[in-house]
Structure 1
């Protein structure tokens, strides 16, 4: 068993649950109730669910890979890279915003970055 990947998978699964529940309430519901035009509104709604699917599939993959004798390094690095990319996007957007304490306004990076790091450590 690879404890690094197991921990990363656990955090990824928790991230998926938070995304689907709390994010649904705080992001999707206001989006769908907004005056935004129908096409961009529905496109953003689809993207929301695409991210949900991506988070779910990658967390399941990490948990399965944790119990694989010799997980494929390319797959593990790919999963780490996409969590790192998600974290980088959140950090970039947060830091570009003119908000007080921007890193706490969009805190998703705090869950995404550890998954990336633990997954990379788990490749060793």
Structure 2
């Protein structure tokens, strides 16, 4: 059992759960209830679920690797790919917090901590 993968898998599961529960109620539903262009609204809806699919898929892969269901040695590039994706999510999140002038943004938009942690732990495996 690889502890870096185990922790990153657990964090990815938590991120997926938060995205699908809190994200749905705090972001998706209110956004869908607003009045603006239907194509833009549905594009955002698709984007939300693209992220959902990626979060869940990477959580499953990281957990499968940590439990030995998948071979870590044969999937190092996949682990790096997953790490780079989560690092990208963290970087974009941090950029938006810094440029968005959100009061206490790093606390209120805390997801960057999970994203960064998953990325770092994935990179430590490789």
After TM superposition, is the score higher than 0.5? yes
Aligned pairs for 1:82-101 within 5 A: 82-101=85-104
Deviates further, 60-69 or 47-56: 60-69
Aligned pairs for 1:38-57 within 5 A: 38-57=38-57
| Residue aligned with 1:98, SS | coil
Is 1:94–1:105's contact at 8 Å kept on the other side of the alignment?
no
1:13 aligned residue: 13
Is 1:84–1:116's contact at 8 Å kept on the other side of the alignment?
yes
Q: Distance in 1 between matches of 2:30 and 2:45?
A: 11
CA shift for structure 1 position 36 = 1.7
1:122 aligned residue: 125
Q: Distance in 2 between matches of 1:41 and 1:51?
A: 16
Q: Distance in 2 between matches of 1:55 and 1:6?
A: 15
Q: Distance in 2 between matches of 1:80 and 1:69?
A: 14
The runs of 4+ residues in structure 1 deviating greater than 3 Å are: none
2:78 aligned residue: 75
Is 1:65–1:71's contact at 8 Å kept on the other side of the alignment?
no
Q: Distance in 1 between matches of 2:11 and 2:18?
A: 10
Query: What are the ranges of 5 or more consecutive residues in structure 1 without an aligned counterpart?
Result: none
TM-score in terms of structure 1 length: 0.94
Q: Distance in 1 between matches of 2:27 and 2:20?
A: 10
Over the aligned positions, Cα root-mean-square deviation in angstroms equals 1.1
